[in-house]
Amino acid sequence: METNISKTPQAVAEAFASHFIALAKANETLSVALSGGSTPKTLFDLLAEHHGKSIDWSRVHFYWGDERCVPPTDGDSNYKMTVDHLFSKIDFPEQNVHRVLGESEPDQEALRYAEQITDNLPSADGLPQFDLIILGMGGDGHTASIFPHEIKLLDSTGVCAVATHPESGQKRITLTGKVINNAKEICFLVTGAGKTEKIDEIFHQAGEWKSYPASYINPKEGKLTWFMDEAAAQKL
């Protein structure tokens, strides 16, 4: 596990953007599972405004690590956020966008999306393998849409699962823990003082760390990097 600590959330986005560009240039094709949240939004703006023409986007395929079960025009949609902050600003091939159909019935969509991922990605150890998965971490220690009350999804035998937000009850489609940990590379993007305590517990295996799904993200053979700002990492 590696850490990359920057001064501000903007600097975190810049550090990861440089890493992403290097990966995109080094790989003939790049399969990426995206995350929602404020830091990816900043990252997408940065890529669109400063690097939109420096990447051969035809070689990049975007998926989502999780998605809310809402239409693609809904303000809660991770897909819509990506469209607004990245796709609408660059020349990105439509066929390389593999979105979760959040408007569909959740259980059926989890099966459909799992099948699409399995058909499109190479297999390793009997599971589809992403080149890169981008993750965030919630204030409760959740990642993707694997929440503490559904931590069993870390060990699910499926590629995708239906998750339920613990407060709103909103349904979500999420990659399961085994597929996440099967990736060639995983990068967390975590910013803000609100994440400090969880980061401290996870990194030092203290407190309630075993109840945080993010604690269990550790690729079997791949690379794991936490990109954080100084506020999130202040206790490391």
Q: Residue 209 pLDDT more than 90?
A: yes
CA–CA distance, 104 with 54 (Å, rounded to integer): 35
DSSP H or E stretch at residue 149: none
Tens-place pLDDT, residues 81-106: 999 999 999 999 999 999 999 999 99
Give the mean pLDDT of 42-49: 95
User: Using an 8 Å Cβ cutoff, are 47 and 17 in contact?
Assistant: yes
Q: Residue 4 pLDDT more than 90?
A: yes
Structure tokens at 113: 């999306």
pLDDT at residue number 220: 85
Tens-place pLDDT, residues 125-170: 999 999 999 999 999 999 999 999 999 999 999 999 999 999 999 9
Q: Residue 236 pLDDT more than 90?
A: yes
> Quick one: pLDDT band at residue 109, thresholds 50, 70, 90?
very high
Q: Residue 38 pLDDT more than 90?
A: no
Give the CA distances from residue 230 to residues 11, 16, 18, 109, 209, in Å, rounded to whole numbers and listed in that order.
10, 15, 19, 38, 21
Domains in the chain, please, with CATH?
Answer: 7-123+145-171+183-213 (3.40.50.1360)
CB neighbours of residue 52 within 10 Å = 14
CA–CA distance, 202 with 140 (Å, rounded to integer): 12
Tens-place pLDDT, residues 51-79: 888 899 999 999 999 999 999 999 999 99
Give the mean pLDDT of 29-53: 93
Q: Residue 37 pLDDT more than 90?
A: no
pLDDT at residue number 190: 97
Closest of 87, 236, 70, 224 to residue 143, by C-alpha: 224
Structure tokens at 123: 């297999």
Tens-place pLDDT, residues 211-230: 999 999 999 889 999 999 99
